[in-house]
Copies of this chain bind each other. A is one copy, B any other.
Amino acid sequence: MRTDYVHGYTDTETRRLAEQAETLADLLHGDTQYEPGSRVLEAGCGVGAQTVQLVTRSPGIELVAADISEESLAQAKQRVAAEAPDARVEWHHGDLRDLPYADASFDHLFVCFVLEHLPEPVAALRTLRSLLRPGGTITVIEGDHGSALYHPQSPAAQAVIECLTVSQADSGGDALIGRRVQPLLAAAGFRNVATHPRTVYADETVPHLVDGFTRRTFIAMVGSVRERSIAAGLSTPAAWAQGIADLERTAEPGGTFHYTSFKVVGVR
């Protein structure tokens, strides 16, 4: 009985988590579909969260997925093997600014939550652009932590969000990059650049987004920089606890949370 109950619960929970992940993935990736047979480069695949989206939404593509972290790449391989076993993926371990592929050898580039980590995003985009055939497309998706709006407002919550932004800047990245992806792509030589803001809004009427986005995506992301923020003197244990508690308050009934990602498509 007990085991059955636990299994039943786990199945329900697993289904619920998959559904909420799908809702968020639809928002970002629902309109990205590549023609069968096309050769696509995912530059910076990380642990494969988006790789699975690419190969399931465009099942006929030949995907090259590259990442600089061997550990991430191993996780991505596992994830794709489990979730999309029929996908044709060539895995490459290396820096996306120095990939061993011929000029104009890809039909499409896909770069999701990657530019935010690069000190020189335009230079990286120029290098990637050379790998794209003329007329091929690039799709870039980036968040922007400046778009985090929530109720109730809280200076303590804003302070922990700013720790995330400072932490990323200290690593040479830019957590506020979403708003400037269009100028970056234009500067790298892409044309017909079109920006599509994708706004997630969560309140008690959409509990799967409260849980899937506010709690498990945004607050979890903020939580990941707790130690380094306190070590760097940007916060204290008490201030951090207050900031997180206030963010969690936005996920309770009566609270709201808003965040915009920028999906930007350009053409070589």
Chain A residues at the B interface, C-beta cutoff of 8 Å: 144, 146-147, 149-153, 176, 178-180, 182-183, 186, 192-197, 199, 201, 203-205, 254-256, 258, 260, 262
Residues of B within 8 A of A194 (CB): 205
A182 touches B260 (CB 8 A): no
Offer 24 A-B interface pairs, CB within 8 angstroms, sorted by A.
A144-B149, A147-B147, A149-B176, A149-B179, A149-B260, A150-B179, A151-B179, A151-B183, A152-B180, A179-B256, A179-B258, A180-B256, A182-B203, A182-B204, A183-B254, A183-B256, A186-B254, A194-B205, A195-B205, A196-B201, A197-B199, A199-B199, A201-B262, A260-B260
Residues of B within 8 A of A153 (CB): 176
Q: A12 to chain B: closest CB distance in Å?
A: 24
Distance A147 CA – B260 CA, assembled complex (angstroms): 9
Number of copies: 2
Q: A187 to chain B: closest CB distance in Å?
A: 8
**Given A179-B149, A179-B150, A180-B151, also A258-B256 (CB < 8 A):** no
